[in-house]
Amino acid sequence: MASLVESVVNFPVPKDAAAIKSFVHMAGYYRWFVPNFAEKAARLTRLLRKEVEWSWGAPQQEAFECLKRVLTGRPLLAYPYFSKPFTLVTDASKVGLGAALPQDRGQGEQPVAYASKVNAKNVAQYGITDLECAAVIWAVKLFRPYLYGRKFRLVTDHAALNWLMTSKDLTGRVHRWALQLQEYDFEIVYRPGKDNVVADALSRAPVRTVVSSRTDAAPPGGEGQLTDDEIATEQAKDKTVQSLKSKKKYGDRRVGEEGALVYIYERDGSKRVVLPS
């Protein structure tokens, strides 16, 4: 849905080789799910060669749009399965914050959601440690319905998070951040910056509208979760949900109502509440 993938759909057109490299590396992280990835990316990767003069025209734009469609559609983009653990991947730059919420179904990480956010002026002044911590706090809040009450992996390319969780001398906003994280159950996983390409690319090319969450499935009930009545109220106000309800289809899946809630019915007979964006 649009809100889920806006940070990729509206990814800025690359203006130089560095921006192309960042975008292609993000797309390439999921290359195992993308048939003929090298062919799809060829018109972009060619511009990374030193002997090739920079030229952005219709062929390059077409390749760029093709890869964005791959990143934001099935079969790569996955439905959330709450019986399996989530991974939250974050990164930060002076320009913005980036995050991805993937799951591994046994074939490698597949994205459930992407997000990015342009830094406010005061946040852009943070040091790198505070920036990385700010990215984690923002992403955890954003994806709270998926993470609260479940153990998840929190992937970062910076030691800031270990410091945040273990330091005894925290003050001010950093102390508040540490307290906020105490209500979550997660394992910190270090991923070198050269491998943290998805969140890195999103943080360096953020969009101004932030992704909320995937509009396919609601997590089970629990503290901090929406009730059925609250979901139904928000569904009634959401244009995307109402469009699905009217069309009665989501791809090749049926959309229908049970009581006040709108559901997507899977081919295996299961059903998923459509979350408002």
Q: What is the torsion angle, in degrees rounded to the nearest 10, for the CA atoms of residue 10, residue 241, residue 78 and residue 148?
A: 100
Per-residue pLDDT tens listing for the chain (277 residues) = 446 678 898 899 999 999 999 999 999 999 988 889 999 999 999 999 999 999 999 999 999 999 999 998 888 888 788 888 999 999 999 999 999 999 998 888 899 999 998 999 999 999 988 899 999 999 999 888 889 889 999 998 777 777 777 777 777 888 888 888 888 999 999 888 788 899 999 999 887 543 333 434 343 333 334 556 767 887 888 787 888 888 888 777 788 888 788 888 867 666 667 765 5
Structure confidence at residue 251 (pLDDT)? 73
Q: Output the pLDDT for position 151.
A: 94
What is the C-alpha separation between 117 and 107, in angstroms, rounded?
29
Query: Which residue do the tokens 């057109």 mark?
Result: 13
What's domain 87-204's architecture?
2-Layer Sandwich (3.30)
CA dist 114 and 193 (Å) reads: 18
Say what the pLDDT of residue 161 is: 75
pLDDT, residue 156, reads 86
Number of H helices, E strands in the chain: 12, 9
pLDDT at 209: 42
Distance from C-alpha of 41 to C-alpha of 63, rounded to nearest angstrom: 6
pLDDT at residue 227, as a whole number: 58
Verdict on whether the full-model pTM lies above 0.85: no
Q: What is the 3-state secondary structure (H, E, C) of 41-78?
A: HHHHHHHHCCCCCCCCCHHHHHHHHHHHHHHCCCCCCC
| Rounded-to-integer distance, Cα 181 and Cα 13, Å | 35
Nearest to 5 by CA among 112, 89, 147, 154: 112
Kindly state the helix (H) or strand (E) to which residue 186 belongs, with its residue range: strand 185-190
**CA–CA gap between residue 50 and residue 82 (Å, rounded):** 46
pLDDT at position 18 = 93
Domain positions in the chain: 2-71, 87-204, 228-273
Tokens of 7: 């940070």
Q: What is the pLDDT of residue 146?
A: 87
How many of the other CB atoms lie within 10 Å of CB of 93? 20
The architecture CATH gives domain 2-71: 2-Layer Sandwich (3.30)
Dist. CA 151–CA 216, nearest whole Å: 21
The token pair at 2 is 């649009």
